[in-house]
Structure formats: structure tokens, C-alpha cells
């Protein structure tokens, strides 16, 4: 079966800067794959090459078997793109934004109107159809941009930080709609800084840094492999405590007076620490994809 996206030795250079460094990846049909990484990791540049926005320096990308270098028009016809920035037309109403955008894909006026009305209902904006764009909240605008990205019935939906800045209710609604699209067979390529979002939506994730792929796989499997079942956080500890932890050969990280101990067995570390240091301030919690991200990409800020 031809995958939705296949990148092979994909490379992008800006002068001497190698933004994307010979990466290989696949997005299967009907699969949601998330690109994760710190700022400057190369994930957005990768997405822009997939979408025919940025020329490829080396390697290739194929979308449903079509080479983006030689068939950009055919590739774009299969894409629905939800950018991070708000680029709605403020001179048009909610409905008009969808109708005008449909023209770029040669959708007839009758079909466009039907799709637009269906999509507004899909994103719960049907009652805002005649509303001025300037009167919409941030969450409403994000939902409208999602609706706009679907006006051409895309086979591949590309989402760049789709829920940045949204409140929990708006984020949950978009998640629900994306799950529905997945059930309908739409392939999804997602970039996000929200690790919970990636865990909730993605069948697989790809973690990048410095233009390279550090690891990729199913979120739950990566968490189990890289971190374990539980993380114990300790603070206000002394050198004696630290030495006791080192003596037990536990996997841990130390950062600015806080220890992160990775417990692959469940709650064994937490129980032993409770016995050894009953008065020590600590927090025991399930391991998450964010722990994987921080352990592999580092905890320091990158710009």
C-alpha cells in the first residue's frame, strides 16, 4: 500500500545551516503522526517541504506516491493545511471565508455551500455563519481554520500547532473532531508542543532535534522503553540522599535542585524512598511523553 507520506534522506540547508539532516519517515494511510521537538529542531521545515512550501535540498518526499518536486499542484490538491497563525480574511464573514477558499480548489458554488454548511456544523460554528471574523474568539477562529482546511475533502490533513493558546474546552472539541476525521480514514500530520495532545491523538510520534530524528514510535511504547511506568520527583534533598540514590543504581536526572528518578517497575522506587526518607518532599506520578521529550531533547531552553 502506498503510504500517505514517505520521506527519504530528506535534507534542507539554509547556507551552512542544516535545518533537516537526511531523515527517513513514513505516514501511513489513515494514520496520525506527530512531529515533536524543541524550537529549531527542524519539524516545521520538514512539514513545509511536505506541503511544497519549501524547496528540498536533498532527498525526496512523496505524498500518496506523488513526488512533491515534480507534482506540487497534484500534491497540494490532496492536502488540507491548518497553519498555526490566524490567516482568515477579516473582510469576509465566517461562511464567506469558506466559500472563497473553496474556489482555489475549483469546487463548484453549490458543492462549496453544502460543504461549508456541513463543516460549520462539524466545528460547532453553524450559528456564527454570518458573523464578522473580528467578532470571533480565538477558539472559534481555530475551529474555523480547521473547517477551512477540510473544504476540499483532503486525503492528508496537516496541522501546525492546532490548539496553541486555546482553553481546555476548545482544545477538547478540536481533539474530538480530529478523532472523528481519523475514523473516517483521513491521514494526519501534526506538529505540537503539547505532549498530552500528541499522546491523545497520535498513532506514532517522531522526536526531532538539530535536524535529526532522535527516536520514533508509539507514544505508550516509547514511554515504557525510555522512562518506565513512574517518575519520582525529589526536592530539598541533601548529599546523603543523593549518594543513597546513586548506590542503588536508579536511573535519574538532576536539574537545579530537583531529582527525577525513573521507575521501570511501577512504584518500587517510591516505596523504598518512603521507607528510607519518610520526611523527604517528593511527588510520584505516572511517566508521560513529556518525560521522554525532556530526557532525550534536554531540559534547557533552545531558540
The predicted-structure confidence for 211-256, as pLDDT tens digits, reads as follows: 999 999 999 999 999 999 999 999 888 888 889 888 988 888 888 7
Reported as a pLDDT band with limits 50, 70 and 90, residue 302 is low
Q: Check pLDDT > 70 for residue 300.
A: no
The predicted-structure confidence for 28-82, as pLDDT tens digits, reads as follows: 999 999 999 998 999 999 999 999 999 999 999 999 999 999 999 999 999 999 9
Q: Look at 1-10, 232-241, 282-291 and tell me which has the smallest mean pLDDT.
A: 232-241
User: What is the full DSSP assignment across the chain?
Assistant: ---SEEEEEEEEEETTEEEEEEEEEEE-TT-EEEEE-STTSSHHHHHHHHTTSS--SEEEEEETTEETTT-HHHHHHTEEEE-SS----TTSBHHHHHHHHHHTTT--HHHHHHHHHHHHHHTT-GGGTTSBGGGS-HHHHHHHHHHHHTTT--SEEEEESTTTT--HHHHHHHHHHHHHHHHTT-EEEEE-S-HHHHHHH-SEEEEEETTEEEEEE-HHHHHHHHT-SEEEEEES--HHHHHHHHHTT-EEEEETTEEEEEETTSSHHHHHHHHH-TTS-EEEEE--HHHHHHHHH-SS---
In the prediction, which pLDDT does 41 show? Answer: 93
In the prediction, which pLDDT does 204 show? Answer: 97
The more confident residue out of 270 and 91 is 91
Answer whether 112's CB lies under 8 Å from 103's CB.
Answer: yes
The predicted-structure confidence for 93-112, as pLDDT tens digits, reads as follows: 999 999 999 999 999 999 99
Mean pLDDT of 181-207: 95
Answer whether 159's CB lies under 8 Å from 189's CB.
Answer: yes
The predicted-structure confidence for 107-160, as pLDDT tens digits, reads as follows: 999 999 999 999 999 999 999 999 999 999 999 999 999 999 999 999 999 999
The predicted-structure confidence for 9-27, as pLDDT tens digits, reads as follows: 999 999 999 999 999 999 9
Q: How far is CA 266 from the centre of its chain?
A: 28
Cα-based distances in Å from 286 to 215, 279, 283: 21, 22, 10
pTM of the predicted model as reported, rounded to 2 decimal places: 0.90
**E runs forming strands in 151-203:** 156-160, 187-191
Structural domains in the chain, sorted by start: 1-78+154-169+177-226 (3.40.50.300), 88-152 (no CATH), 228-286 (3.30.70.790)
Q: How many helices (H) and strands (E) does the chain have?
A: 11, 14
In the prediction, which pLDDT does 46 show? Answer: 96
Q: Check pLDDT > 60 for residue 189.
A: yes
Amino acid at each position: 500500500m502506498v503510504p500517505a507520506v514517505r520521506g527519504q534522506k530528506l535534507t534542507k540547508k539554509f547556507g551552512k545551516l542544516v535545518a533537516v539532516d537526511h531523515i527517513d519517515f513514513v505516514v501511513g494511510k489513515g494514520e496520525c503522526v506527530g512531529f515533536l521537538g524543541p524550537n529549531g529542531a527542524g519539524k516545521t521545515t520538514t512539514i513545509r517541504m511536505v506541503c511544497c512550501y519549501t524547496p528540498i535540498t536533498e532527498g525526496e518526499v512523496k505524498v500518496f506516491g506523488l513526488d512533491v518536486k515534480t507534482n506540487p499542484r497534484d500534491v497540494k490538491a490532496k492536502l488540507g493545511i491548518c497553519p498555526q497563525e490566524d490567516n482568515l480574511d477579516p473582510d469576509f464573514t465566517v461562511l464567506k471565508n469558506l466559500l472563497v477558499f473553496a474556489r482555489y480548489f475549483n469546487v463548484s458554488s453549490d458543492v462549496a455551500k453544502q460543504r461549508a454548511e456541513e463543516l460549520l456544523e462539524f466545528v460547532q460554528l453553524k450559528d456564527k455563519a454570518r458573523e464578522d471574523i473580528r467578532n470571533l474568539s480565538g477558539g472559534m477562529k481555530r475551529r474555523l481554520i480547521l473547517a477551512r482546511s477540510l473544504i476540499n475533502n483532503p486525503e492528508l490533513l496537516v496541522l501546525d500547532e492546532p490548539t496553541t493558546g486555546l482553553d481546555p474546552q476548545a482544545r477538547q472539541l478540536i481533539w474530538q473532531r480530529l478523532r472523528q476525521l481519523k475514523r473516517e480514514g483521513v491521514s494526519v500530520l501534526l506538529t505540537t508542543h503539547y505532549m498530552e495532545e500528541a499522546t491523545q491523538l497520535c498513532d506514532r510520534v517522531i522526536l526531532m532535534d538539530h535536524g535529526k530524528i532522535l527516536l520514533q514510535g508509539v507514544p505508550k511504547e516509547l514511554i515504557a522503553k525510555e522512562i518506565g511506568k513512574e517518575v519520582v520527583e525529589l526536592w530539598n534533598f541533601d548529599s546523603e540522599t543523593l549518594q543513597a540514590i546513586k548506590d542503588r543504581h536508579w536511573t535519574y536526572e538532576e536539574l537545579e535542585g530537583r531529582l527525577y528518578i525513573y521507575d521501570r517497575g511501577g512504584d518500587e522506587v517510591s516505596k523504598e524512598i518512603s521507607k528510607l526518607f519518610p520526611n523527604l518532599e517528593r511527588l510520584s506520578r505516572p511517566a508521560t511523553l513529556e518525560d521522554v521529550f525532556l530526557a532525550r531533547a534536554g531540559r534547557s531552553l533552545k531558540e
